[in-house]
Amino acid sequence: MEAIAVIDFETTGLSPSQGCRATEIAAVIWQDGRIVERYQSLMNPGVAIPPFITQLTGISNAMVRAAPAAEHVMREVAEFVATRPLLAHNASFDQKFWRAELARIALPNEQPFACSMLLARRLLPEAANHKLGFLTQWAGLPNTGKAHRAMADAEMAANLLGYLHQLLIERHGIQADHALLARLARVPNARLKDTLHSLRTPA
């Protein structure tokens, strides 16, 4: 499989359409079954962090005041990611912030996203839930740190990507690339069995 950039944002709220901004980003490059590069930075969003967000993430207004401007961080992480396709857990959330923050500095932001949460829902229906922390523990993957901090969550999502990629090979005989992962994440459950069968790599 080609190299994939796995990203995670911490933010001041749920959506950039509500004036929320990013406070931290991490990106890891997953290639050949492992993480080969890492980038992480707090960023100054120019808006206040609500107290309940600080309680959730541990990121305070004092911390981001001392951090680089969001524009600087996004330029750095865009260069780090380059043209690689992207993956995130609950990608609809991270995709909104990725595109909104890059649009603020007029950088391209149309890279394809895949969602490890939707993919896990398709491939691991036996899991009691599909939150990242639960799946990490359920699958026996490394606990990489405090949840709701960007690097820990990005590393956990990358490890889950590796687990799902290997599961597709061993359980279904499918060698997947990023485009196929994104496609499988969108397949209705009623059609999943037939889709997996049709994609099986000939022996």
Rounded to 5°, angle at Cα 13 from 182 and 136: 50
Helix ranges (H only) for the chain are: 51-57, 61-65, 70-81, 91-104, 116-123, 132-138, 150-172, 178-186, 189-199
The pLDDT tens digits of the residues spanning 56-78 come to: 999 999 999 999 999 999 999 99
**Location of structure tokens 């999943």:** 192
d(CA 33, CA 162): 6
Crossing angle between the packed helical segments 189-199 and 178-186, to the nearest 10 degrees: 150
* Cβ neighbours around 124 below 10 Å, total: 17
pLDDT score for 148? 81
Per-residue pLDDT, averaged over 30-53, amounts to 97
The pLDDT tens digits of the residues spanning 173-198 come to: 999 999 999 999 999 999 999 999 99
* Ordered structural domains, the chain, with CATH: 1-203 (3.30.420.10)
The pLDDT tens digits of the residues spanning 145-175 come to: 877 899 999 999 999 999 999 999 999 999 9
Per-residue burial over 78-90, b if 16 or more Cβ lie within 10 Å, else e, is bebbeebbbbbbb
Residue 162 corresponds to which tokens in the numbers above? 């590796």
| Reported pTM | 0.95
Strands 4-11 and 22-31: antiparallel
Largest pairwise CA distance in the chain: 58
